[in-house]
Amino acid sequence: MKERKIMPFDKNFAPALRFAVMSDIHIDDEDCIEEQRFAKALDDLKKMCSSDERYSGFDALVIVGDFASRGSEIQMRKVKKILDAGLPADVRLIMTMASHEYMTDGEENALRRFDEIFGLTTDPHAVINGFDFIAVTTTGGCHFDDKKRGFVSAELEKAAERDGKKPIFFFQHPHITDTVYGSINWGEDEITDILINYPQIVDFSGHSHAPINDPRSVHQRHFSAFGTGTLSYFELDEFDKTHGTVPPEDSSAAQFLIVEADAQGRVRVYPYDVLGSRFFPYTWEIDEPWNIDSFKYTDARYVTAEKPYFDNAKISVENITADGCDITFTQATGKERPDSYDIYILDSDGLIKKHLNITSRYYLSDMPAALTEHIGGLKAGTEYTIKIVANSFWRTRSDALTARFATL
């Protein structure tokens, strides 16, 4: 990741194309906060791009599914109204549908409403400023039947023939299994065998609601893949968290991506936080999308990652009772934000009596400097040791932070 100190965009990069990608907006029938977030996202996008001296404006907006909670006519017309008010007329709009759009009365009726309200094709192949954009609406929820597979194969072949060294921007709602964070529980592998033949693919997907400021939201193996976040609520991919897959402050979610490409086919991807009205402090860089040997966001990060560490951190133990207490500790630091913490409560014999795995809240624009957790179910009048270990996104672990206390 490359730190940006002053300008949100890379000042040394000369774009020939700029577009934004959003997903999982989840507009509802009733008034909802997602309407405000969607409108603000479009407004922020316009302001940022129009004020950029390198390249004014943006060329396309891509929405990769679940823009509506159930796909009702009310919801689709709300989305259309926000787009009409906030999207410049000269910006190309590309949209796909998926499982949530089909929930009101099935896929066939959703497709009819989509055509009537938006007037867009659900499986477009567009060439914008010389770059291929291929988007696919899934069928049967989040699946790709033989017809969809045929479309994907044929359109990718056409794009590759046009220019084998330019990125092909590819969009679908579910992640491709075993790529970005969230793709284990929320991925599909029905077109993987096709995509792996085109390393120049830069793929964008949603569905998982996984945070895009998680460094695992970009992944490269056979091609480049990006998660696109959500404007509604976060979910995490692990089931072992104490708080489950829906984390604390899950509704503080409004993120999307801005993507640039230059005349040489190089790509820059900027993750943006709508609630904080700012970019996250890094840029994803792909200089040779067609060259697998140049890929740097690979699984090798699990081998090369530095471990997090506690810097002058401490544990405070408060509200001690006969069976529990509240612990507050300073968050770990490192090259990246910590992913999570293992909290162990050990007795005087060193036996683990309690174990919690909690998230760092890294997905929040303003991650808290300290965390507080309640520990219950302890034995009265007993001495305990608290041991806290910080975990990176890449499974490296810090040295332990420790403290002692006794219940009443």
Report in angstroms the alpha-carbon separations of 353 from 1, 240, 407.
39, 17, 13
pLDDT digits (tens, 9 = 90+) for 254-292: 999 999 999 999 999 999 999 999 998 889 999 999 999
pLDDT of 5: 40
Q: Residue 290: name the closest of 258, 267, 268, 263 by CA.
A: 267
State how far the Cα of 13 lies from the Cα of 405, in Å rounded to an integer: 55
In angstroms, the Cα distances linking 133 to 5, 115, 125, 203, 218 are 31, 20, 6, 10, 19
Lowest pLDDT segment from 8-12, 201-205, 323-327, 364-368:
8-12
Query: To which H or E segment does residue 36 belong?
Result: helix 33-50
Encoding tokens for residue 88? 């410049």
pLDDT at 300 over 90: yes
The pTM score is 0.94
Share of the chain above pLDDT 90, in %: 87
Confidence band for 1, pLDDT divided at 50, 70 and 90? very low
pLDDT tier, 243 (very low <50, low <70, confident <90, very high otherwise): confident
Residue 208: pLDDT band (50, 70, 90) is: very high
Of the two residues 289 and 242, the one the predictor is more confident about is: 289
pLDDT at 388: 98
Topology at the third CATH level for domain 315-406: Immunoglobulin-like (2.60.40)
pLDDT value for 346: 97
Q: Give the DSSP letter of residue 216.
A: G
**pLDDT value of residue 188:** 93
Q: For 167-180, what is each residue's pLDDT tens digit?
A: 999 999 999 999 99
236-275 residues labelled b (16+ CB within 10 A) or e (exposed) = bbeeebeeebebeebebbbbbbbbbbbeebbbbbbbbbbe
**Dist CA 180 CA 370 (whole Å):** 28
- How far, CA to CA in Å, does 213 sit from each of 172, 233, 373? 20, 14, 24
Domain boundaries defined on the chain: 15-299, 315-406
User: Regarding predicted confidence, which is higher, 1 or 308?
Assistant: 308
Instruction: State the pLDDT confidence band at 6, using cuts at 50, 70 and 90.
Output: very low
Q: What is the DSSP string of 161-209?
A: HH-TTS-EEEEEEEEETTSSTTHHHHEE-TTHHHHTT-TTEEEEEESS-
The superfamily CATH assigns to domain 15-299 is Metallo-dependent phosphatases (3.60.21.10)
Q: Of 26, 60, 23, 27, whose CA–CA distance to 227 is shortest?
A: 23
Percent of the chain with pLDDT over 70: 98
**Residue 12 confidence class, pLDDT cut points 50, 70, 90:** confident
What's the pLDDT at 10? 82
- Residue 194 identity (one-letter amino acid): I
- Comparing CA positions, the residue from 217, 223, 215 lying closest to residue 197 is 223
CA distance 58 to 259: 10
Residue 42 confidence (pLDDT): 97
Q: How much is the average pLDDT of 129-155?
A: 96
Count, in order, helices (H) and strands (E) of the chain: 7, 21
Which strand (E) or helix (H) includes residue 387?
Answer: strand 383-391
State residue 173's pLDDT score: 96
Quick one: which of 143, 127, 62 has its CA closest to 96?
Answer: 62
User: Is the confidence at residue 4, as pLDDT, over 50?
Assistant: no
Residue type, 87: L
- Pull the structure tokens for residue 242: 């104490």
Is the per-residue pLDDT at 3 higher than 50? no
pLDDT classification of 185: cutoffs 50, 70, 90: confident
SS3 85: helix
